[in-house]
Amino acid sequence: MKAALHALVILATGLASGCATNKITGRSQAMIVSDESAAQQSAEAYTQLISESAQKRALDDDSYQLSRVQSITKPLILQAIKARPDVQNWKWEVHVLKSGEVNAWCMAGGKMAVYTGLLQKIQPTDDELAAIMGHEISHALLSHQAEKLSRAQMQRAGLTAGVLAGAIFGVNLGSIASVADSVATVGLQLPNSRDAESEADTVGIELAARAGFNPEASVTLWEKMIKVGGGGAPEWLSTHPNPESRIAAMKVKSKQLMPVYEAVKRGEPVPDIQTTLRPKQAPTAQTNTAPAAKNLPIQATSVKTTQN
């Protein structure tokens, strides 16, 4: 019993100390897994995926779309670096994968992909595609993948703690572990996933506007998404916000950012992005001038494949 109690104390201490405050959003996040660890895991998975896609001739088979995606993504990365300077060291990379799925993503460490299904079925304008990639880049920028991995570990540790507590007090909880795991998924993981999606929406629109893309495109994008997807899941049980609620929030945010977007298009200085994302700081101004293309941090080359 003493051994079980000691193990329970260690687990509880680990769970309690496994949180950190995000420097951009101010939200407390589970961070047992570091950004560096998440980026390393992502890089390994991404390398394997790209290699397999190349072998299947499902990688970057449309040079126009690849060039388009890269040109839209580059200025978004520059704004991400301004918001969080340490991500300049990430090995940013983006590819277009041949898949009918309507999807795009950005892993921890800046590894990105856009699926041809999204490009073909949604047919996004450049501004709309920037809204998509701004959202996905924001997930990585805000450490959401590291948080997701951390929550998974905490969930498993919590179940172990429950079993240990049961052993201490003479109750066998092992038989209900699967039920507890299901309840933990709904009660612990999904609410924060919705928070993460809302955060990525907010920061993503900001990145896009500052990169010179019309923030109102986020609204038209999701209107297209709803038409293609035929609606959305109930808001209380979804990792994404309710579509109508999401569009309403985007309308408010895009209206707020229109002056920033218009100033960027005129070549005028705008408030520092860190000031906007951290409203308690004193405002400063910065010039939103992009560096020469050769200095952009994204890898512009694609994996070569042999065509029949």
Q: What is the pTM of this model?
A: 0.74
In a domain, 49, yes or no: no
In a domain, 194, yes or no: yes
Residue 29: other Cβ atoms inside 10 A: 21
| Average of per-residue pLDDT across 244-262 | 94
d(CA 195, CA 216): 22
Distances (CA, A) of 260 to 28, 114, 201, 255, 263: 29, 27, 17, 10, 5
Q: Which structural domain, as residue segments, surrounds residue 174? A: 2-18+57-268
For the chain, the maximum distance between any two Cα atoms, rounded to a whole number of angstroms, is 71
For residue 62 the two structure tokens come to 């449309």
In a domain, 286, yes or no: no
**Average pLDDT in the chain:** 77
Residue 27: other Cβ atoms inside 10 A: 14
In a domain, 12, yes or no: yes
Per-residue pLDDT tens over the stretch 130-139: 999 999 999 9
Instruction: Check residue 153 and report its DSSP letter.
Output: H
In a domain, 23, yes or no: no
Instruction: Check residue 282 and report its DSSP letter.
Output: P
In a domain, 42, yes or no: no
Query: Mapping DSSP to helix (H, G, I), strand (E, B) and coil, where does residue 176 land?
Result: helix
For residue 30 the two structure tokens come to 């589970």
Contacting residues for 21 by C-beta, under 8 A, at least 6 apart = 27, 28, 29
d(CA 237, CA 194): 9
Distances (CA, A) of 121 to 24, 225, 227: 33, 9, 10
d(CA 110, CA 132): 15
> How many CA atoms are closer than 13 Å to the CA of 275, on its beta-carbon side?
8
In a domain, 40, yes or no: no
Categorise residue 234: left if φ over 0, alpha if ψ from -120 to 50, beta otherwise.
beta
Per-residue pLDDT tens over the stretch 202-211: 999 999 999 9
Per-residue pLDDT tens over the stretch 271-308: 999 877 864 544 444 444 444 444 445 553 333 333 33
Give the confidence band of 245 by pLDDT, cuts at 50, 70, 90. confident
In a domain, 205, yes or no: yes
Contacting residues for 150 by C-beta, under 8 A, at least 6 apart = 18, 29, 30, 31, 32, 33
Per the structure, the count of domains in the chain is 1
Give the confidence band of 33 by pLDDT, cuts at 50, 70, 90. confident
pLDDT exceeds 50 at position 247: yes
